[in-house]
Structure 1
């Protein structure tokens, strides 16, 4: 974790800040000013807090740290996608992506530095997990990507998906706290209904989301419709098989009524047959899912998978539609800058 003797000031609530200022003999309203600088004005240094005296800023700097993500490198795709590599205060790198469409500006954010799940088709899965991102670092990702959206496309973010590096439900507390700050009126004020958390499938934590009555959407990265195949590409299936995930998703829906989506990458000659489609339909029928997202596979250097041809993809899609499945084909964005689904790996880039 971050190596600092000073307490991160963003980890204090407004009440705790108020108590600190009162103990210092300062006016209570100073706490509100500092809180606004941190969460609304996105100050990344105490010197930026210009309505505080120099003496007070120096005192804050003496007692607290204010670590913040910075943009280390940025790449721009021909399709408008923007990939950023962010640097943490302790020198780690993590990536996030801005995905623009005609109607949406979506931030794809990371929750961990690296990943421990080792999914065979995902570039991040071949990296070691260094550590979890703290909730304020996740918040910074969203703030920085929002600034890019306004600068590059003249629009604010409309949606956030936790589909970047790492498994969000293995960084549960920080992800939920980040979403709380992102959706708070004294934060970014984004509706939780515009936020989707994607999981490779941690049944216990999916149930916990239900118990916590979260308000955001949930996506399950399924990618294979039977345990044998899913085990082959996603080792997490050993301890979280498909039945346990179906049960957990049903519990989540009973508790929250929130939208559930299945994510399903098509791999050539692996999970793209009509038999696979039948098995997928059976799973879809057992969960009150709103949608199955069929995702184009994006090749990575470390894996031997390839995507099926257009005819196979069309046949698969049409079969699902014929069986009254709400299905959508999600075209890859940002492939030319390794920003597409499954390609985030902190590669060195020219900037």
Structure 2
């Protein structure tokens, strides 16, 4: 489907005010319209009930509100829900609702959202990395994923989202402006009103853009997909490391920390017989001494395109214990939604890419 009108959400309040003025409408209408779009998440001009019929018809004549739809929804045995979202142009992205486990002592309800259709970074262990990058998502398409997943959470579990992670398909820092704009709408009192500290943006590691996050003094959390703490191994599984080496990333992350005061999270998937030895743990510990950070150790979720395997539980525990004994804050993240290909690294828009 080819769009013929501009999505009205591409205009900020001042641009909308100017447009309204040119069409004989009072400027204060701009704030009313923006509230309907971002705070109340309406997807039809007809629902903007405090606008006159004439004004609504004028908007509909010149603009559209491009909606995403749930093309497919799957629920895991652990309660995780994966959604394939169909975009206005027919492309698919995936998002995931991750509820807290019953035995957990928190009440987290997390949305994992995508930032691009596909990805250009070709990480060897990630299903999305085997797709082509088709395009960046617009800010409103990221916000719409959050709105849709929040609705799922309320309908299924009776409570809304508490956390958002930009860890789905794509590299958020390669869609920098749109990602930042989406965070602004999610956190603004005139938008969804969520706290920035409840948002985490994950990156494969693009040093110059990490520094830009620092310059922009962002309030959200930053996670680095590390997975190996020496350049030789990281080059093998993450080609981006060849142009963004660990020393370059350490410098950028320290710059980010000095600018924002926010400690980084290192994400580390422990692959069997690749990066799971005590020497690997030692290298990771040494890297944490270069950058104020905590470590999330993540179980690997197998994909058809790669031969990596998850390490065994004893090795994983020994790896985590080595770090903890040296004062590193470590969380072991168990896989969620693996049975529906909704776990970390498994998102691939399979309706478009059957395997």
The TM-score normalised by the length of structure 1 is 0.96
Per-residue deviation at 1:5? 4.1
The equivalent of 1:225 in structure 2 is 229
The equivalent of 1:166 in structure 2 is 170
- Show CA shifts across 1:60-80 (max 9, x none): 111112112221111111111
Q: Classify the secondary structure of the residue corresponding to 1:267.
A: coil
Count of residue pairs brought into register by the alignment: 348
Matched, 1:36 2:40: no
The equivalent of 1:75 in structure 2 is 74
CA distance in 2, matches of 1:318, 1:330: 14
The equivalent of 1:87 in structure 2 is 86
The one of 261, 280, 284 aligned to 1:276: 280
CA distance in 2, matches of 1:210, 1:235: 24
The equivalent of 1:256 in structure 2 is 260
Matched, 1:321 2:324: yes
Q: What 5-or-longer segments of structure 1 have no aligned partner? A: none
- Show CA shifts across 1:153-177 (max 9, x none): 1111111111000000000000011
- Show CA shifts across 1:192-213 (max 9, x none): 1111110000001000101111
CA distance in 2, matches of 1:35, 1:71: 24
CA distance in 1, matches of 2:182, 2:55: 28
The equivalent of 1:301 in structure 2 is 304
Matched, 1:179 2:198: no
The equivalent of 2:55 in structure 1 is 56
Per-residue deviation at 1:22? 2.6
Q: What 5-or-longer segments of structure 2 have no aligned partner? A: 101-105
The equivalent of 1:198 in structure 2 is 202
Q: Any conservation in 1 of the 2:3–2:89 contact (CA below 8 Å)?
A: no
CA distance in 2, matches of 1:110, 1:279: 31
Matched, 1:265 2:269: yes
Q: Classify the secondary structure of the residue corresponding to 2:267.
A: strand
Q: CA RMSD in A?
A: 1.5
The TM-score normalised by the length of structure 2 is 0.95
The one of 245, 257, 279 aligned to 1:241: 245
The equivalent of 2:26 in structure 1 is 27
